[in-house]
Amino acid sequence: MKRFQKIILGSGSPRRKQLLADLGYDFEVRVSDADESAPNHLSAEETVEWVARSKAQALRETLVDDELLITADTEVWKKNRRYGKPANRESAVEMLRSLSGTSHQVISGICLCNRELLHTFHVTTEVAFVELSEEMISHYVDTYQPFDKAGAYGIQEWIGMVGIAELSGSYYNVVGLPTTEVFEAIQNWPELA
């Protein structure tokens, strides 16, 4: 397995930290206050790549030789609507009602860079929910408080166990980091940049 002097994870997400650690990498966490908005004319795939790249650009100046920075943006999209992190309980309930009984995409933009090179890509997973009752939605939102999660849900939590009817693509992408693709990108760095 290819090793670097240092990998930097540009994310404070506990899920991303755990997944990168589970891949066997030692890394340091650096977090920026990068703007996560993107131009409205961008497609879903372009949007997540834009945000991941913005996060990388905000931290790029902090890199020294042999450091590889990894940033990511995971978003929920349905029919060109971007489902961000819910602002409150009402917003979380509305999002889950909208996703109930339908399919949506979870798309992650990933950016790897050092001081000289930058590579961005995206990974898409199709997710279908069963019909969620009002009782299920209320129980999940009140118990798990999913206000830090795009689309108001974490697939690794109760709602994923009882509410996911079908999944096509990377499960770990929905958690927050498409591990297979990230591992491959790290192993092939810098040839892919």
What pLDDT, on a 0 to 100 scale, did the predictor assign at position 2? Answer: 62
Domain total for the chain?
1
Can you give the CATH number for the domain in which 148 is found?
Answer: 3.90.950.10
- H-only helix segments in the chain: 14-22, 44-60, 89-99, 134-144, 158-163, 171-175, 179-187
Q: Give average pLDDT by consecutive 10-residue segment, the chain, 193 residues.
A: 78 95 95 87 96 96 94 96 95 98 98 96 98 98 96 97 98 97 93 76
Taking the C-alpha atoms of residue 50 and residue 42, their distance in angstroms, rounded to an integer, is 9
Question: How far is residue 146's CA from residue 31's CA, in Å, rounded to a whole number?
Answer: 21
In the residue annotation, 73 being an active-site residue is answered as yes
- Name the packing angle between helices 14-22 and 179-187 (round to 10°): 60
192, part of any domain: no
Among 22, 65, 73, 142, the active-site one is 73
Give the range of the structural domain holding residue 33, as residue numbers without chain letter. Answer: 6-187
pTM to 2 decimal places: 0.94
| CB 121 within 8 Å of CB 162 | no
